[in-house]
A and B are shown apart, each in its own frame.
Chain A
Amino acid sequence: MGSKLDFTLAILNGAIGDHLVATKNGLATELACMHEGAPFPMTRAALATALPSASAKVVLLVHGLMCTEEVWKLPDGTDYGTLLERDLGYTALRLRYNSGRAIVENGEALARLLEELADAYPVPIEELVLLGYSMGGLVVRSACHVGKLEDHHWLALVRRAIYVGTPHRGAPLERAGKILTRVLRAIPDPYTRLIADIVEVRSMGIKDLGEGICVRDMEHPVPLLPEIRHYLAAGSLVDDPNVALFFGDVMVPVQSATDHRIVDREGFVLPPEHVKLFPHFSHVRLAHDALVYDQIRTWCE
């Protein structure tokens, strides 16, 4: 029941989460790390209780639009976090956030949360891995920039950032939504304008996905921070590489998920082994599949 309610709230937050925040609605999800289905505060006591055998290596899983941390669950009940705990000795934390807020706002909140985590974590953190799925990857990217701009301590602990099905260069479906709204508005008919109004209700988070916007006051694409090793996983429903480039896993084209491979304007290029394409993978499958986990584990070794 709790899980179903959480799932419903995740969809609601993804759809109109910015409105819920603006109206101080109690249904708005607050950004927090989750333990056994409940958020826990970033205090020493709460962390010590939630993580009795905390390791110095931490991996943070950040879900995507309209999801909760349940999206990571594999059929056997494990997730990439528990598997990394088992195989490589990480301590896994799972973030839950309101995916309808602007990506920038979630990035800022995540950066602040990570600063609190670095201070309150039971043992000194030696390594922090950020693992973002879909929109979660953009939130991670945004948080890293905020961390850099505000000189946060946690940023020095981040060794790797792994982006799974993240629309770094935007999602065409959202761009199509924008065009549809414009066309409907241009038609001088009250009914089509009503449909345009309904389509326009979608949250800032969804609108940000159109261009992959993740940093305030900076033109996107912003550079990936060179002090972190970045890894990109993309899905594709087809074999043909040219078709995959544009359609990818239907939600995110391969060229967007791989950030065109050339990831910033200063010529910082990712090594080929940092980019992995998974043929015949849907967008959702990327979040909970043994093959994707094998790749993540290889990247984390």
Chain B
Amino acid sequence: MSEKRKKMEKWRGLVALVRDGVEHGSRAVERIQLETANRPFTVLEHIPPIAVPAKVVHVVFDASVKATHAVIRGVNAVAATAIDVTLDHVASDSDERRND
């Protein structure tokens, strides 16, 4: 494997690592946010006068947290793919220039 190709593999590796980090980090933070919020919501849902609205707010809260993190992971995946495509383009450009 040429030196340039190795360097490119390292860049791709770095991109993949950042993508994995954001993906795992987002999942961990999502889990914490859901679990942490679950405790007060569970208490509130046991108080008869506010049980129903608390349940509604709980569902809305969970959905918004999940949606937010899904967006973060989606943007992360798109950005990583875009960088990968750019790296491919740079690599093929430099190969062509070398062949010329």
Contacts and interface: CB of A to CB of B under 8 A. Distances in A.
Contacts of B9: 26
Question: At the interface, is chain A mostly helix, strand, loop or mixed?
Answer: helix
B47 interface: no
B65 to A, nearest CB: 13
A27 B32 contact: no
Contacts of A25: 13, 16-17
B13 A190 contact: no
A191 B32 contact: yes
Given A20-B13, A27-B13, A194 B32 contact: yes
B35 A27 contact: no
Interface string A188-203: 0011001001000000
A184 interface: no
A53 interface: no
Interface residues of B, number: 16
B10 interface: yes
Contacts of B12: 26
Nearest to B32: A190
B16 A190 contact: no
A28 interface: yes
A190 B36 contact: yes
Contacts of B6: 26
Interface string B1-29: 00000101111111011001000000010
Nearest to B38: A190
Contacts of B35: 190
Interface string A21-35: 001011110000000
A9 to B, nearest CB: 8
Contacts of B46: none
B23 to A, nearest CB: 11
Nearest to B12: A26
B31 interface: yes
A27 B16 CA distance: 10
A190 B16 CA distance: 27
Nearest to B36: A190
B10 A190 contact: no
Contacts of B11: 26
6 closest cross-chain pairs (CB), A and B:
A26-B9, A26-B13, A27-B13, A190-B35, A25-B13, A190-B32
Interface of B: 6, 8-14, 16-17, 20, 28, 31-32, 35-36
Given A27-B10, A191-B36, A194-B31, 12 more contacts: A20-B13, A20-B17, A23-B20, A25-B13, A25-B17, A26-B6, A26-B13, A27-B14, A28-B13, A190-B31, A190-B32, A197-B28
